[in-house]
């Protein structure tokens, strides 16, 4: 008897690859900071990168939008190699938005202008359309009432939410977060994490370098543990936090979870 084709979708979400790193190496002088790194980030996946200080997490994150050049290996976005330079690089940085530890807002521009600027310059939107979209996004991050203020008039948590709105305004395929809450006072961390949790629930593709283990545990699809320039573990949060395999990860978790 012929076997019927399976019509039902599988329960597991199919994470079609969006970002792929293969055999990536990088040095700073003699320091080998990325050692033969392989990583696939699926569309709609939230990948949290954790590990000891100096293990290469930020560098890894920054290679994905070419803020850091690599010496060998390939990095692709949607199956296409990342552009090296020129106009395509500005487009890449729009498609793979980045949120930094320091919010990097323009101090002499209003919150609204900070969110609109790159839309006009890179996405070639008219100013009115860009401002309309910026206001929508500021509303989403709870800051519409602050649109006409300057960054210095906002708290750190609010500035970081502006930075997230600015990244979203470019209609990115993926968002990179490099320790987005590390520069914040403790009471502001949660307001930023809540915006990030919301983005995760919406199915955004996100790579997040963070020391916030609660976010790693409960918002990530995968945890990538780095040590000494290598990806040592790449597993679900459940697996990683309940049964880490490597001695490095066990040691790291025992140190940070003690507090």
Ligand X SMILES: Nc1ncnc2c1ncn2[C@@H]1O[C@H](COP(=O)(O)OP(=O)(O)OP(=O)(O)O)[C@@H](O)[C@H]1O
Residues that bind ligand X (CB under 6 A): 28, 31, 33, 51, 53-59
- Please say which residue, 14 or 257, places its beta carbon nearer to ligand X: 257
- Please say which residue, 57 or 146, places its beta carbon nearer to ligand X: 57
* Total length of the chain: 259
CA distance 116 to 119: 5
- Please say which residue, 136 or 234, places its beta carbon nearer to ligand X: 234
CA distance 251 to 213: 15
Residue 211's nearest CA partner among 48, 39, 34 is 48
Pairing label, strands 174-178, 206-209: parallel
Residue 47's nearest CA partner among 205, 231, 230 is 205
- Please say which residue, 55 or 119, places its beta carbon nearer to ligand X: 55
- Please say which residue, 60 or 77, places its beta carbon nearer to ligand X: 60
CA distance 24 to 39: 9
Taking the complex as a whole, the smallest distance from the CB of residue 121 to ligand X amounts, in Å, to 27
Pairing label, strands 31-42, 17-28: antiparallel
Taking the complex as a whole, the smallest distance from the CB of residue 241 to ligand X amounts, in Å, to 19
Taking the complex as a whole, the smallest distance from the CB of residue 103 to ligand X amounts, in Å, to 17
Taking the complex as a whole, the smallest distance from the CB of residue 224 to ligand X amounts, in Å, to 12
Look up tokens 């990530």; give the residue.
220
Strands in 206-209's sheet, in edge-to-edge order, are 96-99, 174-178, 206-209, 46-50, 222-227, 230-235
Taking the complex as a whole, the smallest distance from the CB of residue 185 to ligand X amounts, in Å, to 19
Taking the complex as a whole, the smallest distance from the CB of residue 259 to ligand X amounts, in Å, to 16
- Please say which residue, 33 or 138, places its beta carbon nearer to ligand X: 33
């Amino acid at each position: 008897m012929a076997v019927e084709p399976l019509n039902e979708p599988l329960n597991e979400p199919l994470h079609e690859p969006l970002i792929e790193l293969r055999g990536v190496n990088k040095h700073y002088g003699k320091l080998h900071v990325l050692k033969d790194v392989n990583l696939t980030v699926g569309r709609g996946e939230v990948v949290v990168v954790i590990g000891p200080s100096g293990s290469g997490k930020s560098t890894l994150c920054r290679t994905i939008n070419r803020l850091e050049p690599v010496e060998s290996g390939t990095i692709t976005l949607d199956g296409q190699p990342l552009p090296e330079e020129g106009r395509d690089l500005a487009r890449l940085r729009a498609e793979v938005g980045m949120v930094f530890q320091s919010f990097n807002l323009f101090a002499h521009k209003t919150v609204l202008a900070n969110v609109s600027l790159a839309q006009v310059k890179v996405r070639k939107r008219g100013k009115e359309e860009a401002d309309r979209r910026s206001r929508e996004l500021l509303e989403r991050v709870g800051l519409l009432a602050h649109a006409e203020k300057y960054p210095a008039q906002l708290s750190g948590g609010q500035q970081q939410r502006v930075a997230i709105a600015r990244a979203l305004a470019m209609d990115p395929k993926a968002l990179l977060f490099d320790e987005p809450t590390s520069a914040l006072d403790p009471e502001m961390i949660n307001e930023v994490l809540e915006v990030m949790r919301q983005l995760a629930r919406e199915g955004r593709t996100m790579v997040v370098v963070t020391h916030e283990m609660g976010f790693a545990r409960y918002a990530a699809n995968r945890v990538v543990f780095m040590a000494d320039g290598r990806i040592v573990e790449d597993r679900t949060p459940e697996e990683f936090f309940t049964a880490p395999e490597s001695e490095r990860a066990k040691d790291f978790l025992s140190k940070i979870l003690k507090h």
